[in-house]
């Protein structure tokens, strides 16, 4: 049988031990692996692998010896409790091996958990699991996690007090990160809040979100847009030391000021413009960009973009001017303009 949506999410968290098997497939190997880990842990518990109630096989093993999966589900374990036979990297070429195991499966045998890459609707492997009344097949796609999934992740991490405003930012974060990084970020937030019973705030989410060199550049561009000239001069030395290319800095500066221009141009105001952005902007950064857009206004942002485009053209031309000096001078000019208003 086929499961999807909320039903699939609930099944991963609480699989039926009486089922003979589950196929999890999808193009994103990380998403598939996370779901596979979740469902196996729910079936055999934290001590299952240590008690040898988990047998691992690969699709390559089955292609060489198709009978391995059948032998594995029939084995009798040394320890009591449910058993799982996990087969990773299964393909349509292994479908006959699974078909034989499914046909011979009986209550008391180990449950089969198989993972595969992207499979078409006509996949022979999918048909083995989808066509059996006591087995499931679940496709994992690139859609961001649902609110229900995120709430479940937060609950498992021990984050019970999440106000609506903070949840909005966590939803935005889930769309900006891949699943593995998102879960790690939630775990980091949970460690940060350990022993703290106060509600989780947007600022705390931002503090724990992944930091990159790009975040350093964004911080420098915030200083430019807010007219904080001395602080920007100090930040530029750090950015230079990190090896950020002048053209990269020009591209990111132009993107930042175009974002402000888009927000300032929105008929309903900068707040509405920022709310429409994709990927979404969350937390204190949203308020900061809104303040910058209001400070500059649409017409002065037009002039700022002209300055940046001129600097970018100079960088890409045959000019012999020192490239970092060109973009630094342009940004310093914008910071000086912002400081006067």
Look up the CATH number of the domain holding residue 77: 3.40.50.300
Q: Is the pTM of this model over 0.85?
A: no
Domain contains 332: yes
- By CB neighbour count within 10 A (0-12 exposed, 13-18 middle, 19+ buried), where does 122 fall? exposed
What whole-number distance in Å separates Cα of residue 200 and Cα of residue 192?
A: 10
Cis peptide before 279 (omega within 30 of 0): yes
Residues 42 and 112 in one domain: yes
Whether 142 shows a pLDDT value over 80: the answer reads no
Domain contains 146: no
Domain contains 268: yes
Residues 91 and 192 in one domain: no
Residues 201 and 235 in one domain: no
Q: What is the pLDDT of residues 60-90, one digit of tens each?
A: 999 999 999 999 999 987 888 899 999 999 9
Rounded to the nearest 5°, which phi and psi values hold at 78? -80, -25
The closest of 204, 139, 149 to 3, measured between CA atoms, is 139
The total number of structural domains that make up the chain: 3
Whether 213 shows a pLDDT value over 60: the answer reads no
Whether 211 shows a pLDDT value over 70: the answer reads no
Query: What value does the mean pLDDT take over residues 106-125?
Result: 94
Residues 253 and 182 in one domain: no
Residues 174 and 136 in one domain: no
What whole-number distance in Å separates Cα of residue 159 and Cα of residue 208?
A: 14
Residues 128 and 171 in one domain: no
What whole-number distance in Å separates Cα of residue 264 and Cα of residue 290?
A: 8
Domain contains 145: no
Residues 79 and 167 in one domain: no
Q: What is the pLDDT of residues 216-242, one digit of tens each?
A: 788 899 999 999 999 998 888 888 877
Q: What is the pLDDT of residues 283-328, one digit of tens each?
A: 677 888 999 999 999 999 999 999 999 998 888 876 677 888 999 9
Domain contains 68: yes
CATH number for the domain spanning 268: value is 1.20.272.10
pLDDT of 212:
53
Residues 234 and 325 in one domain: yes
Percent of the chain predicted with pLDDT > 70 = 96
In degrees to the nearest 10, what's the CA dihedral of 322, 327, 332, 333? 100
Residues 42 and 129 in one domain: yes
Domain contains 148: no
What whole-number distance in Å separates Cα of residue 77 and Cα of residue 74?
A: 9
Which domain does 54 fall in, by range? 5-140
Domain contains 147: no
Domain contains 160: yes
Residues 132 and 10 in one domain: yes
Residues 199 and 281 in one domain: no
What whole-number distance in Å separates Cα of residue 203 and Cα of residue 209?
A: 10
Residues 262 and 194 in one domain: no
What whole-number distance in Å separates Cα of residue 227 and Cα of residue 220?
A: 11
């Amino acid at each position: 049988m086929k499961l999807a949506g909320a039903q699939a999410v609930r099944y991963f968290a609480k699989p039926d031990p009486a089922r003979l098997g589950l196929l999890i497939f999808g193009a994103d190997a990380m998403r598939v692996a996370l779901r596979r880990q979740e469902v196996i842990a729910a079936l055999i518990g934290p001590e299952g692998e240590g008690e040898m109630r988990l047998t691992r096989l690969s699709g390559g093993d089955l292609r060489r010896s198709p009978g391995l999966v059948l032998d594995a589900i029939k084995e009798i374990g040394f320890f009591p409790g449910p058993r799982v036979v996990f087969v990773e990297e299964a393909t349509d070429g292994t479908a006959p091996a699974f078909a034989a195991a499914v046909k011979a499966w009986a209550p008391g045998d180990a449950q089969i958990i198989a993972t595969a890459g992207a499979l078409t609707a006509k996949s022979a492997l999918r048909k083995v699991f989808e066509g059996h009344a006591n087995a499931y097949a679940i496709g994992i796609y690139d859609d961001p996690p649902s609110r229900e999934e995120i709430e479940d992740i937060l609950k498992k991490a021990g984050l019970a007090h999440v106000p609506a405003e903070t949840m909005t930012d966590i939803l935005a974060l889930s769309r900006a990160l891949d699943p593995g990084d998102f879960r790690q970020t939630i775990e980091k937030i949970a460690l940060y809040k350990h022993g703290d019973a106060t509600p989780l705030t947007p600022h705390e989410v931002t503090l724990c979100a992944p930091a990159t060199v790009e975040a350093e550049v964004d911080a420098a561009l915030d200083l430019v847009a807010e007219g904080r000239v001395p602080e920007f001069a100090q930040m530029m030395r750090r950015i230079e030391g990190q090896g950020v290319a002048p053209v990269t800095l020009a591209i990111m500066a132009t993107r930042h000021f175009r974002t402000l221009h888009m927000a300032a141009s929105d008929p309903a105001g900068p707040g509405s413009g920022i709310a429409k952005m994709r990927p979404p902007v969350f937390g204190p950064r949203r308020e900061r960009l809104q303040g910058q857009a209001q400070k500059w206004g649409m017409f002065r942002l037009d002039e700022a973009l002209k300055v940046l485009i001129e600097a970018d053209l100079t960088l890409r031309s045959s000019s012999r001017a020192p490239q970092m000096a060109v973009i630094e001078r342009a940004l310093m000019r914008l910071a000086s303009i912002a400081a006067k208003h």
